[in-house]
Amino acid sequence: MDYLLLFIFLALLAEILGTVGGFGSSLFFIPIASFFLDFHSVLGITAIFHVSSNITKIAFFRKGFDKKLIISIGIPAIIFVIIGAYYSKFMKSNILEILLALFLIGTSLTLFLFKNIVIKPTVKNSIFGGVFSGLIAGIIGTGGAIRGITLAAFSLKMETFIATSAIIDLGIDFSRSIVYFTNGYVHKHDLYLIPILFVVSIIGTYLGKKILNAISEEKFKSIVLLLIFITGIITLSKIILF
């Protein structure tokens, strides 16, 4: 029971940070959940959790979204998340965890050290961002940071950014949920977590939106990047030490 309460608290924290940081909750939730479940199970439960999480974000930030970006980023992302999710079954869990840890560390350092990193707002770059974010999401469970960098190039308003990202992510997560299910990643004994995580996604998104209204987005993103880095280090340490 104590482990379940800790799991719920950490999942809530992941949802809040993912909403405010604009990277999606999976960037935090996957390494957190890997302490409680085997990594393939984490991929399965995260995809289902993210479906409800993105529906919640769309409901809270529904004032606007960019249809062109949903097509140019979303379609290639969905195609390549299916490819990545399929091939993930051929990789051992510890290899996937190492890839995740290195991805978290590399992403946080890159975004922190090169804060002014700019991608040209072109259709070609949006397609490339969709391909890369989808492939990474399928293999290690999270590609929100890459999608966030791509979307940031188009100077969207905050609510449009979050809604557009959530709609794309919904397509990604729905697609990989099907593949993960056929891969055997979704287990009956983990299904009781789904309604719990659904409630967590609603509360976390609501609190994240409140924080966005009360604090500087840039200041909080710096804190989020630091937490991503620490999460990556902890994940890598767990693999090495245990």
- pLDDT (0 to 100) of residue 211: 82
For residue 137, give the nearest of 78, 75, 71 by alpha carbon: 78
- pLDDT (0 to 100) of residue 78: 94
Per-residue pLDDT of the chain (242 residues; tens, 9 = 90+): 677 888 888 889 888 887 777 667 777 788 888 888 888 888 888 888 777 777 877 777 666 788 899 999 999 999 999 999 999 888 887 888 888 888 888 888 887 777 666 678 899 999 999 998 899 888 888 777 788 778 878 878 777 887 888 888 888 888 988 999 899 888 888 888 888 888 888 898 888 878 877 776 666 667 767 777 887 887 788 777 65
Radius of gyration of the chain (CA): 16
Q: pTM of the entire structure?
A: 0.79
Domain ranges of the chain: 2-241
Main-chain dihedrals φ then ψ at residue 146, nearest 5 degrees? -65, -45
> Is the distance from CB of 236 to CB of 87 less than 8 angstroms?
no
**DSSP of 143-158:** -HHHHHHHHHTT---H
Question: CA-to-CA distance for 201 and 199, rounded, in angstroms?
Answer: 5
**Residue 138 CA: distances (Å) to CA of 109, 154, 160:** 22, 25, 25
**Residue 220 CA: distances (Å) to CA of 142, 189, 227:** 20, 36, 11
> Is the distance from CB of 193 to CB of 76 less than 8 angstroms?
no
Residues making up the chain, counted from first to last: 242
- pLDDT (0 to 100) of residue 130: 93
